[in-house]
Chains A and B, each alone.
Chain A
Amino acid sequence: MTPAPRLLEIENLQVHFSTDDGMVRAVDGVSIGVDAGETVCVVGESGCGKTVTAMTVLKLIAMPPGRIAGGRILWQGRDLVPLPPEGMRAIRSKEIGYIFQEPMTSLNPVYTVGEQIAETLRHHEGLSRRAALERAAEMLRLVHIPNPHKRIHDYPHQFSGGMRQRVVIAMALACNPKLVIADEPTTALDVTIQAQILDLLNEMKERLGMAVLLITHAMGVVAETAQRVVVMYAGKVVEEAPVRSLFAAPRHPYTQGLIRSIPRLDLAATEHKRLEAIPGTVPSLLNPPPGCRFAARCRHATPECTAAEPPLREVAPGHKAACIHAESLAA
């Protein structure tokens, strides 16, 4: 008997963008799996390919200049890569919801939020205008927006940033998808609002039983929400582990750097310790350096690191890392 297919299985995905300067390999052989009801976090700094990976799942990247150069995106066992546009549309929102980063710009300013939520419902569920608006109001109540029946008639500019992100979440969840991809849903918000939105996401996940693929660059967000973590660097996965194991024993120097760069209020106040940053910047994806892409910024780098690309390998049960020194770094 073959095991039941995972909810989402990204296999060796390659996404290339053609630019004036040449081919950019934004996503270079990324594999991520998500099981039903699970929260998986994808972490990495800006430009590491995490947003492109997420948008490629729903084929929302502009093609051209983007191109899926290789790999498979298995949705419940079915490959989405060769799927025609109509097939993709049946999956968008209905089966996989998407929450965008910028609540200020991701809603259309000329329609009321009710109309925008209802649009999804009318299309996928075939509801009438009235029924869809009624459901939209229910969704707003679900995401804790006060006076939902009144607020569905308001325009996006009449909402604050946090409230708009609630609307975006309501929109993504309207058709009760099995998976929600949240692309840095809290980055554009104030810290206090960030916590509220994360709580809301966790609450929605409990209530509706969906899986979440959360893209973020904040390690704090990871610790608070994820069951499993995927760390990406320069278009590649460098470490993948259950959240406990990742924070307890990070194996890749990049992950260690990320964890060390989390600001700690207690230390900042008592020991006046400077925040530890990872030196340097993400290498150009036009001509990535040979071998390990992090080597140039790595304090543990040895000549062997730049000789060959380190494969992503299991270093402990359920814990994978792409570093040849992973064992000695376990400390």
Chain B
Amino acid sequence: MTSYLIRRLLLMIPSILGISVVLFTVLAMAPGDPFEELATNPAVPPEVRANLRASLGLDDPIHIRYVNWLFAMLKGDWGFSFVSRIPVDDLILQRLPVTIAVIGASQVLALLVALPVGIYAATRPYSIFDQIANTLAFVGFSLPTFFTGLLLILLFSIHLDWFPFVYRTQLDSTGWQWWWDQFRQSIMPVTVLGLFQGAALVRFVRSAVLDVIRLDHVTTARAKGIPERAVITRHVVRNAMIPVVTLVALQMPIIFGGAIVTEQIFRVPGIGSLLISAVLSNDTPVIMAVTFVFACLVILFNLIADLLYGWLDPRISYR
């Protein structure tokens, strides 16, 4: 197990290097100049601009720039944002907690909805409950978050005025009031993202449970005379969770991506909105850093999925 983990961690290094080369090259070749604005500003003479570019190393050949970036990263220097002049790692650390809180809460919500509904539907296939759950799940993941998000804002923020439609990091309140305000402003983004994830997950949980419930060992469990509840939880759900857990772990990075849209709609100052504003202003160091973080998350969650799979399924051994 330990040697497996070490080997997997070592294998992550070439993957990460490869991803960073591709990301860096694509960004370097992308059109757009971070100093566009300076060019249109008559107060800045062209020589100053050229000096600035040279001092930032922007005129070096691409492979030199990549090596420079790589060694700087290794030393923990993520560079500075061209726009705000703030260190990129500070920017990311500032935004990451909000994103993790929103994504974490929505994922918990998704599981809280999908697990009971999916399991219950699968134990009574084609019942009224199953059909309603299936239909709602289908509607749920057919509706994009940018649509349901706007709908919720229109209904709850504008018509009913229950929840704020802009998410603020700096809340004026303190103590319990702070928690309450935090809850109130998170509820819509978390609901939109959570129900969207949950809708897809319901169908997956249902089919995973249905796959197991037909198996012979479930009949064996029934023949033991243990209560039906124990048959379902111990012999059906436990086995069906193997693919579900793996899927959830593998989907985590994708959820980060999906959260970008939701963050834009609800103005959640998370890592997604950081990326969007960086893209809009050609802020290459920030784009590079954020996409690189996403890429690392994908690799990390792949490893987590593999570990969980082996942990849940004794037939898998780490070798």
Residues of A within 8 A of B (CB): 55, 58, 60, 85, 88-94, 97-98, 100, 102, 105-110, 112, 119-120, 123-124, 155, 157, 168, 171-172
Contacts and interface: CB of A to CB of B under 8 A. Distances in A.
Q: Which 4 A-B pairs have the closest CB atoms?
A: A92-B225, A105-B216, A98-B223, A108-B217
Given A109-B315, A155-B314, A157-B314, A93 B217 contact: no
11 contacts: A58-B223, A60-B219, A90-B225, A92-B224, A108-B235, A109-B217, A110-B312, A110-B314, A120-B224, A120-B225, A123-B226
Query: Which one of A97, A106, A172 has the greatest number of beta carbons of chain B within 10 Å?
Result: A106
Interface string B257-286: 000000000000000000000000000000
B228 A85 contact: yes
B314 A108 contact: no
Nearest to B314: A155
A100 B239 contact: no
Query: Which one of A105, A108, A112, A171 has the greatest number of beta carbons of chain B within 10 Å?
Result: A108
A107 B313 CA distance: 14
Contact of A119 (B219, B222, B226, B228): B226
B318 to A, nearest CB: 15
Nearest to B223: A98
A211 B184 CA distance: 67
B224 A106 contact: no
Contacts of B312: 110
A123 B239 contact: no
Nearest to B218: A108
Nearest to A58: B223
Interface of B: 215-217, 219-228, 230, 234-235, 238-239, 242, 312-315
A109 B314 contact: yes
B310 to A, nearest CB: 12
Contacts of A120: 224-226
Contact of B238 (A55, A110, A123, A157): A110
Contacts of A92: 222-225
Contacts of B313: 109-110
Given A105-B215, A105-B217, A106-B217, A123 B224 contact: yes
B284 to A, nearest CB: 49
A100 B225 contact: no
B139 to A, nearest CB: 29
A85 B229 CA distance: 12
A106 B226 contact: no
B267 to A, nearest CB: 45
A93 B222 CA distance: 9
B144 to A, nearest CB: 37
Contacts of A55: 219
A94 B239 CA distance: 26
A124 B225 contact: yes
A94 B224 CA distance: 8
Given A105-B217, A106-B219, A108-B239, A155 B315 contact: yes
Contacts of A102: 216
A153 to B, nearest CB: 11
Given A105-B215, A108-B217, A93 B224 contact: yes
A174 to B, nearest CB: 9
B49 to A, nearest CB: 65
Contact of B225 (A94, A105, A106): A94
Contacts of A105: 215-217
B315 A89 contact: no
B217 A60 contact: no
B138 to A, nearest CB: 25
A60 B221 CA distance: 10
A155 to B, nearest CB: 4
Contacts of A88: 225
A185 to B, nearest CB: 13
Contacts of A91: 225
A108 B239 CA distance: 8
A107 B226 contact: no
B225 A107 contact: no
Contacts of A108: 217, 220-221, 235, 239
B123 to A, nearest CB: 12
A112 B222 CA distance: 18
B314 A107 contact: no
A90 B239 CA distance: 25
